[in-house]
């Protein structure tokens, strides 16, 4: 089986951890590429699996780096929480020599596509779409409740693993954000910001803002308010097949994708979020059970007597 090795080489312990594990790894797979800088173009790399070393941030970076060429990921936890981790370092070699690895099963998980549509002034020309998006969405303008959409062009495009967040900048006043779903205006939200997350992202920023936890394989999108002014605005869960549109109508607003990519929005920019045309893939590890993982990572306590059924 052909594999690529990925991770954040600037993170303490990653390069040392990979160096210690690599002789054992090469007993079971053919390493065709390795990148710990995040700079290698992986969109055309021919491999069967990606071994990603680090924490959840390393997995996010690897998914973005692979683009449309999504390889099944086996995540080796060299980080802290590691919600997306498949195995710990001491579990890697036993899994690679197991029957489960020889007959890998893949869990497909939702990716979103987020594009920003900007009004074109008389002096502006539409930029070359391919330099922005690598074909993550079509040239077609979104179906929207706004008028004059034909005067807009796509100025940026992002692959989303965890979440899209609209956050305020200085002077940090309350934001007003219009939310529409499938072209129907839902509400004008007032508060510190709004998060649109995947099920994988539900254990990240959304959870800290009071959102629920969604199982990773669920084909759902979660909308979570950040400090809403109206206490009756609560998290909303809907289908991933729908088109979600956000427009910040006041304040200085920033678009933040997966906690790293950051873009300042112009007034009246339209943010369109829809399902990406491909999923990202995680290799199933039989011992890595979903709720067992939550128990470990979130420190959930439970009655030992209830566990034994007595």
Residues with a known catalytic role:
56
CA–CA distance, 244 with 183 (Å, rounded to integer): 8
CA–CA distance, 289 with 150 (Å, rounded to integer): 48
Q: What's the token pair of residue 163?
A: 């979440």
Are residues 222 and 196 in contact, defined by beta-carbon separation less than 8 angstroms? yes
Are residues 259 and 186 in contact, defined by beta-carbon separation less than 8 angstroms? no
48 CB-contact burial (10 Å; exposed 0-12 / middle 13-18 / buried 19+) = middle
Nearest to 35 by CA among 62, 13, 59, 17: 62
Buried/exposed 220-231: b ≥16 CB within 10 Å, e otherwise: bbbbbbbebeee
CA–CA distance, 163 with 112 (Å, rounded to integer): 8
Give the phi and the psi of residue 194 in degrees, each rounded to 5.
-140, 140
Distance set, CA 205 to CA 31, 163, 286 (Å):
34, 8, 28
Report the relative pairing of strands 244-248 and 253-257 from DSSP bridges: unpaired
What size, in residues, is the chain?
Answer: 310
Nearest to 164 by CA among 63, 256, 245: 256
Is omega for the bond preceding 293 within 30 degrees of 0, making it cis? Answer: no
CA–CA distance, 223 with 238 (Å, rounded to integer): 8
CA–CA distance, 125 with 106 (Å, rounded to integer): 43
């Amino acid at each position: 089986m052909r594999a690529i090795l990925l991770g954040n080489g600037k993170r303490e312990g990653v390069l040392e951890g990979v160096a210690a594990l690599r002789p054992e790894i090469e007993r079971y797979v053919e390493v065709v590429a390795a990148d710990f800088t995040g700079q290698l173009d992986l969109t055309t790399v021919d491999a069967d699996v990606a071994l990603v070393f680090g924490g959840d941030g390393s997995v996010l970076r690897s998914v973005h780096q692979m683009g449309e060429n999504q390889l099944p990921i086996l995540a080796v936890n060299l980080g802290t929480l590691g919600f997306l981790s498949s195995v710990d370092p001491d579990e890697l070699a036993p899994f690679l020599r197991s029957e489960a690895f020889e007959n890998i099963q893949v869990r497909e998980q939702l990716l979103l596509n987020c594009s920003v549509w900007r009004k074109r002034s008389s002096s502006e020309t539409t930029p070359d779409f391919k330099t922005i998006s690598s074909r993550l969405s079509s040239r077609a303008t979104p179906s929207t409740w706004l008028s004059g959409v034909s005067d807009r062009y796509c100025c940026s495009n992002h692959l989303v693993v965890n979440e899209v967040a609209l956050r305020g900048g200085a002077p940090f006043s309350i934001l007003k954000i219009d939310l529409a779903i499938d072209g129907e205006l839902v509400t004008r939200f007032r508060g510190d910001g709004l998060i649109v997350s995947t099920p994988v992202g539900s254990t990240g920023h959304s959870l800290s803002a009071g959102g629920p936890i969604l199982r990773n394989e669920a084909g759902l999108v979660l909308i979570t308010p950040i400090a809403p002014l109206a206490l009756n605005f609560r998290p909303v869960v809907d289908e991933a097949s729908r088109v979600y549109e956000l427009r910040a109508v006041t304040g200085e607003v920033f678009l933040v994708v997966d906690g790293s990519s950051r873009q300042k929005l112009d007034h009246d920019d339209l943010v369109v979020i829809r399902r990406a045309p491909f999923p990202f893939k995680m290799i199933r590890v039989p011992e890595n059970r979903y709720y067992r993982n939550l128990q470990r990572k979130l420190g959930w306590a439970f009655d030992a007597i209830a566990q034994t059924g007595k």
